[in-house]
């Protein structure tokens, strides 16, 4: 039997939750509904979903607090989270992204928009089907094994941050606009705003730790990954051929 992507819907309004669930079923997904944080955690403990639709306003623990909590847990840190919010203010959206959400859907929303956003985050979750290894100084990314190391220490990155780093390393020393990064990393970015790039770059820098200085902000232009940001510890870029060739 074909596996249907399992979507956890965390929404306290029963009528909205049921409408979302019906549309998810018609769209080829398997919805699981939870009406509060306790029920949502119980569902997560039982079976991990492929993605989470998380309402901002919930009784008890808020959606923002839940997103932050799940991002800190090893078992749930890489599950794509889409915030459902009635707030259209940009700062509120950024707050959701900063809390760990991968995207947001502003109520009221169309069924097609919701399904497209879910498909987009699921596509980004899967690593690129390439087997190359890229080395920039002490930073090494191996796409075949989905591993990143810096000074022989393994780093843990989420799927979007992995794809972003991979692209920046493959095109080191070049300045990339936010629009270019959206196109190359996110792909179909019709629903994604450019500010999303800033949030994921910030998240990537934090995950890279000491290597985060290699990602430079070029004011008014975009971002660049460079080996010259810390020349004392990060030598110049080289491209290593895939193993076995």
Q: Could you tell me if 17 and 11 are in contact, meaning their C-beta atoms sit under 8 angstroms apart? A: yes
- What's the DSSP call for residue 176? B
pLDDT at 146: 84
Q: Please report the pLDDT score of residue 245 as a whole number.
A: 39
Residue-level pLDDT at 244: 45
Q: Are 143 and 131 in contact (CB under 8 A)?
A: yes
In order of 34, 225, 236, the CA distances from 200 in angstroms are 28, 14, 25
For residue 22, name the pLDDT band (cuts at 50, 70, 90): very high
Domains located in the chain, CATH noted: 6-125 (3.40.50.2300), 133-240 (1.10.10.10)
CA angle, 183 then 189 then 194, to 5°: 80
The predicted pLDDT at position 150 comes to 94
Q: How far is CA 61 from CA 54, 66, 73, 223, in A?
A: 12, 7, 16, 36
**Lowest-pLDDT range of 20-29, 154-163, 181-190, 197-206:** 181-190
How far apart are the C-alpha atoms of 55 and 13, rounded to whole Å? Answer: 10
Per-residue confidence (pLDDT) for residue 49, from 0 to 100: 93
Average pLDDT over every residue of 212-239: 73
pLDDT at 229: 63
Q: What is the mean pLDDT of the chain?
A: 84
Q: What is the pTM of this model?
A: 0.59
Residue 184 is classified by DSSP as I
Q: Which helix (H) or strand (E) holds 224?
A: strand 222-225
Residue 41: per-residue pLDDT: 93
Residue 240 predicted with pLDDT over 60: no
pLDDT of residue 127: 52
d(CA 86, CA 237): 45
Categorize the per-residue pLDDT at 231 as very low, low, confident or very high, splitting at 50, 70 and 90: very low
Q: What is the pLDDT at residue 98?
A: 78
> What are phi and psi for residue 3, nearest 5 degrees?
-75, 125
Give the Cα separation of 34 and 32 in Å (integer): 7
Higher-scoring residue by pLDDT: 86, 136 = 136
Token code pair at residue 146: 């989905």
Confidence category of residue 95, pLDDT binned at 50, 70, 90: confident
């Amino acid at each position: 039997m074909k596996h249907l992507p399992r979507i956890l819907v965390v929404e306290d309004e029963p009528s909205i939750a049921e409408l979302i669930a019906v549309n998810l079923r018609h769209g080829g997904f398997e919805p699981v509904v939870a009406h509060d944080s306790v029920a949502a955690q119980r569902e997560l403990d039982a079976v991990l979903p492929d993605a989470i639709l998380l309402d901002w306003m919930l009784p008890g623990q808020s959606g923002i607090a839940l997103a932050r909590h799940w991002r800190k847990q090893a078992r749930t840190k890489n599950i794509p989270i889409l915030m459902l919010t009635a707030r259209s203010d940009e700062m509120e959206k950024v707050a959701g992204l900063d809390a760990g959400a991968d995207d947001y859907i502003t109520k009221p929303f169309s069924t097609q928009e919701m399904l497209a956003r879910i498909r987009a985050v699921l596509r980004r979750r899967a690593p690129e089907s390439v087997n190359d290894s890229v080395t920039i100084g002490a930073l090494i990314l191996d796409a075949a094994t989905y591993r990143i190391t810096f000074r022989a220490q393994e780093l843990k990155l989420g799927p979007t941050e992995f794809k972003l780093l991979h692209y920046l390393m493959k095109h080191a020393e070049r300045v990339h606009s936010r629009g270019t990064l959206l196109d190359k990393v996110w792909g179909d970015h019709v629903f994604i705003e450019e500010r999303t790039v800033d949030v994921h770059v910030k998240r990537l820098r934090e995950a890279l730790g000491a290597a985060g200085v290699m990602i430079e902000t070029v004011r008014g232009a975009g971002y660049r990954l460079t080996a010259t940001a810390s020349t004392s510890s990060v030598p110049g870029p080289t491209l290593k051929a895939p193993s076995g060739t």
